Structure 1
Amino acid sequence: MSKILYKSKEVINAVKLEFVEIANPIFESLEIKRKENEAYDIDNRSISLRNELEALMEKKQKLQEELDSSHEFTKREIDAECARLIEGAREKAGQIIALANEQAEALQREAENKKETIERQSNSEIERIVGEYEGRLKNELEIEVTRGRQEGYDAGFKKGGEDFDRVLGKLNSIISSLVSKRREIIESSRDQIMNLVMQIAVKVVKRIIDSHKGVIIENVNEALKKINSKTNIVVRVNLDDMEIVSHQKNEFISKFDLIENLEVVEDVNIGKGGCVIETDFGEIDARISSQLDRIEERVKNFSSLF
């Protein structure tokens, strides 16, 4: 059998060719395996990221629920506090009104007592003056009568009659003067009482307004009660009352169904504690000064009865 002889170079080439033919599939398999591993890693990472995303979404949902719950709790707390403050303001306003009524009754009693005292004093003074003049007139009359008797019955009678008429005329004049004086005293005492009552009333009202911030709220409430048809409202108040009235704006709207819209504005011509309500049909004057004027008018009418 003949031998096949290879040159060394050919052998090497043959080996290389054989190696190449065998190695190529192996490398391809390894590359596929590597890519499969990478794909598997990507899938695992994708699943892990998805799980993390779901966990984050659950955590977000939980935080949102906690936040909503916290907001709801805070809102309930605020509503409860507002209700408590409003109720407290109403109670305080009721106390203020009760105190004002008590003080008004006390003022009326004081005015009546003062009037009675002045009348007693004036009546005593009038009685004293009348008694004094009556004594003087009686003495003069007795003197004239005695003189008439001494000068003769006829002449004395005539003179006594003339003197008596003269004294009687003087007495009538004095009585008229006393009646007029009594009227002056009573009129003067009435004016003094009225001025005293109004001075005390102004001081009491000012003290109440300065010490109780809820007076303006009660004043606005009472004014709004006079509205009898749907309308837009403008509430004019003093600068010092702007904040508290503005804070109660929604409360007024919810309380009075006839209010279409409500606006609070400052007015330098309105004193503290008072207000003027502008409607589509006119104004409601609830200024403190106007209320005091009405009180003064009632006091005048009351005093005119005596």
Structure 2
Amino acid sequence: MSARLLKGGTQLSIAFAPFKIPSRNEAGRAEEATAYDETEFAEAHPGNVQEAQQQAQAVIEAAQAEADRLVAHAQTRVAEIEQQAYQKGLAEARAKFDEEVAAAATDLRDQLTRSLTELEPLYAQIASRAERDLVKLALEIARKVVHREVTTDPDIVLTLARVALERLHPRAVATVLLHPEDYEYVTARRQSLSGNNAIEIVADTAVGRGGCVIQSEHGDIDARIEQQFASIERGFFE
């Protein structure tokens, strides 16, 4: 095959050799020739080939070491980032938790303060009621004890009558009202009561056991047991 080229007014003619695909045998002979050339070069220059191989191995090892270092550094950095993120998240979570706890504690404290304020009147009322109940209970116990004593010790009514008469004028005329069961005992001991007073002893069911009522022109003295307890109770609650 040929081609014509015009250059500077002169026509040139160029011939191309035809392209031929080598056969399998021809390709094999070419590879053998190339391998032979490399072997021949290695035999002719053994030092250069070994040095090149060592340099190539060194480059490969250096590249592998650098790759390992980069991977290790990347892994370490990833671990550091993960730890930093964990610590940051933990700190933020702890701060949020502390904030929520503080807010809840404030609300609870405010609620407790309001509750205590609302309970103050009720507490005072309960305390007052409890005090009254305790006083009433104590008086009731004392009343029962005294009633038991006056039924077993008749000298109690005699003593009360004597003390009440001593509050009168020495020359006053008096009437002593007693419970019927105390009447006979006191009458039998009349002399221990009279002193300088002119007295009359009268049985009266309106007077409880152990007590007495003294009547005179100067006024009455109520020495009944129930009246004494009523006076004590009024002193507590009025």
> Which TM-score applies when normalising by structure 1?
0.41
- Match of 2:211? 274
Q: Larger Cα Rg: Structure 1 or Structure 2?
A: 2
Q: Counterpart of 1:284 in structure 2: which amino acid?
A: I
Residues 3-152 of structure 1: matches in 2 within 5 Å? 142=100, 145=103
Runs of 4+ in 1 over 6 A off after TM superposition: 166-169
Q: Which residue of 1 aligns with 2:148?
A: 207
Q: Does 1:283 align with 2:220?
A: yes
Tell me the secondary structure at the aligned position of residue 208 of structure 2: coil
- How does the TM-score come out when normalised to structure 2? 0.52
RMSD, aligned CA: 2.8
C-alpha separation in 1, matches of 2:129 and 2:193? 47
C-alpha distance in structure 2 between counterparts of 1:297 and 1:274, whole Å: 19
Instruction: Specify the code of the residue in structure 2 equivalent to 1:273.
Output: G
> How far apart are the structure 2 equivalents of 1:145 and 1:237?
75
Q: Which residue of 2 aligns with 1:188?
A: 129
- Report if the CA contact (8 A) 1:194-1:300 is conserved: no
Superposed displacement of residue 235, structure 1: 0.5
The answer to whether structure 1 residue 241 and structure 2 residue 182 are counterparts is: yes
Q: Which runs of 5+ in 2 are unaligned?
A: 1-96
Q: Which residue of 2 aligns with 1:136?
A: none
Between Structure 1 and Structure 2, the one with more strand by share is 2
Distance 1:142 1:171 in 2: 18
What displacement does 1:215 show?
A: 1.0
- Cα deviations across residues 59-87 of structure 1 (Å, max 9, x unaligned)? xxxxxxxxxxxxxxxxxxxxxxxxxxxxx
Cα shift at 1:176: 1.1
Tell me the amino acid that sits aligned with residue 293 of structure 1: A
Of Structure 1 and Structure 2, the greater helix share is in 1
Q: How many residues align?
A: 141
Tell me the secondary structure at the aligned position of residue 213 of structure 2: strand
Taking the aligned partners of 2:188 and 2:200, their CA distance within structure 1 comes to 11
For residue 200 of structure 2, the aligned residue among 243, 258, 263 is: 263
What is the alpha-carbon distance in structure 2 between the residues aligned to residue 221 and residue 239 of structure 1? 18
Offset at 1:144? 8.6
Q: 1:143–1:292: structure 2 CA closer, same or farther, 3 Å change rule?
A: same
Q: Aligned partners of 2:212 and 2:111: how far apart in 1?
A: 60
- Separation of aligned partners in 2, 1:276 and 1:265: 10
The one-letter amino acid of 1:142's match is: E
